[in-house]
Structure 1
């Protein structure tokens, strides 16, 4: 600071704050006898405050905060009775304040000495500053009891936090009673001290203008006084890290202006009252680390401004209310971990599109991880460890581009570790230990430096980097399928031709035998969960043509939504005007009611009703397959350069295996063998992951063995399948059926046994499918010479 400033004898205000001035405070400032206001705040001044400043007897305001000043504050300043503001915060002043320092500061209105190293007790003479409105002595080393402050009736802000005040005794909080005289008090902070004892009931008599009350980080015990609810002006209340017990008073429902409520790390018990729904202005609620019980109250949904919500480390039970996931305001954190919550994670978790931190760990949650979490595109930290979750890791996680931490450990997850996790560039922590995962561990991205603990307890995982010490992956699945393509083309063609001829012969024989026996149609349909006509009508926009996705001989298929399953479904509406449609409905229900396989379209529910015209209405509701039918991929009607529908060889081989697996299940693993009778590409549907599902069981044949004889149930009589076309896959169904019949009663038994000695029937099935798809693949890629 230039020395020439000391020559400005008439200078009344000197403000050089918020610069980069260095050195000590110049002593020549003591020559500015007319100075009223001196501001040196936010610079790099160091050393002690020069005593010559005490010559400024007219000075009213002095600001030296946010510097590197040391020593004790000059006691001579206490004799400047004209001072109204003293600001020395955020320096390195030490020592204690003299007990009588305030005897001569009767005009003092604001005192700031926060963030220093001042020790000792609070001078009792502070009660002489009757017009004091602001007192910041927080962030020091003050000790002892707080004197009675009842005479400071103009007190507006009192900050005593982050000191060593109190002795953990029952008298520590008696000064709060005196503060009931401070009718203008708006901020009171006594957090992070050693105050003990109970909160007095008189705390409810503090100023109704009190907006912020900080009580956390002490040793306060006992229950929360119900009278605290009288402070209806509170917008912030923190009581964390104490020893408070009992219940949360219902009088908290009066806090309609409350924005931040923190009661964490106490010993609170009982249920979270319905009063929580009254706190509609809340944006921060922390009740974690207590002993709360009961359910999460659904009326938490009234807190539509909530951004930070923590209930972790309690004893809460029941399911997570849907209302929690309707809080689209939750952008910061939702932590429900370490409770006893049960049930599924709702699909509506997708409403939390901007959530950054989601933790439901250490509960009893079950079911699948909802794929809709992939819509929470701002998610960075996702913790689900220690639950009963099952199924696969959803492919929708690929949308979480900003994901940093993902912990799915200690669940019952199956399937493989998705390769797309390698592409999440921000991923720095990943843990799937102690699940039932299998397959190959990725080696790129996060997995380049993965450690054993993140995949421990998954004995079927293989591969990965060498440091994981996992066995090499054996050749199976797709790799095994790829080996089959190197079989001799001559063997494939010969086997296919032989099976075609054999199938025709056996079909003729079977049809002749079938015409001699009566057909049994079971009228009994096991009870499926039913939905009303009105729900189907609403879910398809009145069965509009925009919802129509396909049609057949007996039915039309619509895309729609149902409240019952909360997802997109396929609705097959029977055309009961067509002959045989009613029987088709019965047979399809009988066929699907007791079967379940990953390669069969799963029936969800059905509808058998009368609609508004008094006519009979029947419909079946299935899982919706996003990628349509195999026929649409093999023979697309329209070609699109943006979204080409082509199948590579891997996908074709996998579809073959999926269809063969479905047939094997229907023919050999069901309690009652089932013959599809209309297997063709249009009846093979593909889901999001291009997994094939066999559908349309409307003309299915059910086989059952009774007293050593074989009977069958069917919905129609005569030749089955699509007229004018028989897909090679149909030969598989015929082959299975003929094999089943002839083993017991057919005259061609000896011939069939000879065939089985040459090549097993299942190999023949696979070779037919392989030949069919291989020839189509060569045809569609003939220009590529593959």
Structure 2
């Protein structure tokens, strides 16, 4: 073999050296581009505090060591930028599109605003884009479709609007996750989404989308999660959706969808864990096959038009945690229909049960006491059920909310109710309950709300209620309670929304401790037999808006220091035995809209109340036993 001439060998050596140098320069230039792009990104953002954002980002160190930056092992290029939850703000700079080796971009949970830069379309290697939980606006850029390798597009909880581009399904066919929830997107769901055969998670909830749900979504053969809740979708739910055998979660709550549930749903969706159809217009019976969904953890069918009986073996879904059937036309009576309650005893993890606002009748089933001790919220009101609250209700030790309201339930509140130590809300209004209020209610120290109005409860109010240091609302109006109001009630500074004991037979003076209700908005004690003077201490209730003491036997003068309650909107002191003059105090209450002083023994002129910024309706009949009917007028 002939030797290569020295000149040719020298030329080849020089050429090889030049190629290597050029390649090194190319890599170096890309490195410089990435560093410059990151610094341009930093310039455009800000963060509260004196330290400033991203202090580690400076030219004295390699950008591969900067906070949130990950570089590829061999290339030295930026392959991931993760600055989620950094409190960053500003607009996304176009320079971010120069990070052309980027595979992951996560800027979620920040305060970025403005549009999504079109330059993101240059990120051809991008696989994950997460800009969720910002304040981004504008539309989805069409050229995002150039990121053909993308597998996750997460833009939820922003202010994005406009249409979902059809190119999303035409070119981004590798997508496994699409989350556009909680934006202002409009229009229809593009039929092209049916091309996303690898898609596993689709969340378009809480937008302004409309029209029908495309039947072509049956092409999503890998899908496990679909959430289309809180939009304006109408028409029937495509039957093809029930053929997606890998589907574990289907949520379409809060639309105007209609139609019925297929009779064989339990056989067609064997993997279903969460079925949420609530707040639509679905009708027909709940099919028995739903009991075949052995992995079901949440079944929410509330606020539709379902009718008939609840499947009697519903409790076969033993993993059920959340069952909402409220707001339908479901039926049961003493002869038939309550069997499902027996079977629910098998659901040992049940936490939420809503059966209210249906057509259930008959006795409250005794099996209610066999429900899971994990049950936290139980709603069965607004039905025509009767009977008594079973004493073994105390078995439901995990209860936080108990609602048996607007029914025909009668009898006494059982003493055992005091064993429900976790109870936070107690709704027993509009029933036929009678007997004494058990002192054991005072053991429920986590209670925030007690609503037991419009019953036939009698006897004194237990002083033990004064132990309820977290109570915000106490409404026991329209009963037959008697005796004095315990001073302990007025020491509950936690009462911030309402204290309503009106229309009972309560007597005695209003204790001076009423001034301890410094956070209360509504004080309603009208329609009782309270007597004595209105305590001066009431002026300490400085956030009071409604003071209703009419139809009692209060006497003496109206406290002049009511002017200290600057937010009063309604004062009703009529039908008492108040005397003296109408104080000028009302002139200093700028928010006052309604003042009722009729049928007292008041004398003197009506104050001008020029200080009020509102139109005041004032009724002052029977001043000094003289007919001075003054219709509501502007003072």
State if a TM-score over 0.5 links the two structures. yes
- SS of the residue 2:342 aligns to: helix
Alpha-carbon separation, structure 2, partners of 1:177 and 1:168 = 14
1:518-538, Cα deviation, whole Å (9 max, x unpaired)? xxxxxxxxxxxxxxxxxxxxx
Alpha-carbon separation, structure 2, partners of 1:209 and 1:193 = 24
Larger Rg: 1
Pick one of 505, 509, 531 that aligns with 1:366.
531
1:278 aligns with 2:446: no
Pick one of 508, 511, 532 that aligns with 1:343.
508
Alignment of 1:654-665 (within 5 A): none
- SS of the residue 2:587 aligns to: helix
- SS of the residue 1:437 aligns to: strand
CA contact (8 A) 1:7 1:32 kept: no
- SS of the residue 1:58 aligns to: coil
Post-superposition shift, 1:266?
0.5
Alpha-carbon separation, structure 1, partners of 2:627 and 2:417 = 55
Alpha-carbon separation, structure 2, partners of 1:467 and 1:293 = 37
Alpha-carbon separation, structure 2, partners of 1:40 and 1:343 = 60
**In the alignment, what sits opposite 2:307?**
143
Pick one of 616, 621, 624 that aligns with 1:456.
621
**In the alignment, what sits opposite 1:76?**
240
**In the alignment, what sits opposite 1:4?**
167
- SS of the residue 1:99 aligns to: coil
1:50 aligns with 2:206: no
The answer for unaligned runs of 5 or more in structure 1 is: 471-786
**In the alignment, what sits opposite 2:345?**
180
- SS of the residue 1:127 aligns to: helix
Post-superposition shift, 1:119?
1.0
**In the alignment, what sits opposite 2:263?**
99
CA contact (8 A) 1:165 1:194 kept: yes
- SS of the residue 1:108 aligns to: coil
CA contact (8 A) 2:332 2:362 kept: no
Post-superposition shift, 1:242?
0.5
1:328-364, Cα deviation, whole Å (9 max, x unpaired)? 1111110010000110000111111111110110000
Alpha-carbon separation, structure 1, partners of 2:614 and 2:452 = 39
1:436 aligns with 2:568: no
Post-superposition shift, 1:144?
1.2
1:245 aligns with 2:410: yes
CA separation of 1:130 and 1:429: change in aligned 2, threshold 3 A: same
Alpha-carbon separation, structure 2, partners of 1:245 and 1:465 = 45
1:277-329, Cα deviation, whole Å (9 max, x unpaired)? 11111111111111011101111111111111011001011111111111111
- SS of the residue 2:316 aligns to: coil
Post-superposition shift, 1:173?
2.8
CA separation of 1:17 and 1:463: change in aligned 2, threshold 3 A: same
Alpha-carbon separation, structure 2, partners of 1:158 and 1:261 = 20
Alpha-carbon separation, structure 1, partners of 2:306 and 2:631 = 58
1:472-495, Cα deviation, whole Å (9 max, x unpaired)? xxxxxxxxxxxxxxxxxxxxxxxx
**In the alignment, what sits opposite 1:109?**
273
Pick one of 303, 306, 327 that aligns with 2:468.
303
CA separation of 1:468 and 1:155: change in aligned 2, threshold 3 A: closer
**In the alignment, what sits opposite 1:41?**
205
Alignment of 1:391-430 (within 5 A): 391-430=556-595
- SS of the residue 2:291 aligns to: helix
CA contact (8 A) 2:521 2:543 kept: yes
**In the alignment, what sits opposite 2:522?**
357
Post-superposition shift, 1:444?
3.0
1:132 aligns with 2:296: yes
Post-superposition shift, 1:3?
2.5
**In the alignment, what sits opposite 2:429?**
264
Post-superposition shift, 1:63?
1.1
Pick one of 369, 380, 398 that aligns with 1:215.
380
Post-superposition shift, 1:420?
2.1
Alpha-carbon separation, structure 2, partners of 1:175 and 1:458 = 63
- SS of the residue 2:505 aligns to: coil
CA contact (8 A) 1:448 1:465 kept: no
CA contact (8 A) 1:441 1:464 kept: no
Post-superposition shift, 1:382?
0.7
Alpha-carbon separation, structure 1, partners of 2:488 and 2:187 = 60
Q: What TM-score comes out, normalization by structure 2 length? A: 0.71
Which has the larger displacement, 370-379 or 99-108? Answer: 99-108
1:201 aligns with 2:366: yes
Pick one of 345, 354, 378 that aligns with 1:189.
354
CA separation of 1:449 and 1:213: change in aligned 2, threshold 3 A: closer
Alpha-carbon separation, structure 2, partners of 1:41 and 1:469 = 49
Pick one of 449, 452, 470 that aligns with 1:287.
452
- SS of the residue 1:300 aligns to: helix
**In the alignment, what sits opposite 2:323?**
158
CA contact (8 A) 1:173 1:197 kept: no
Alpha-carbon separation, structure 2, partners of 1:275 and 1:111 = 40
1:442-467, Cα deviation, whole Å (9 max, x unpaired)? 22345995567x11122467999898
Q: What TM-score comes out, normalization by structure 1 length? A: 0.58
Q: Which has the higher helix share?
A: 1
Alpha-carbon separation, structure 1, partners of 2:626 and 2:425 = 46
Alignment of 1:601-616 (within 5 A): none
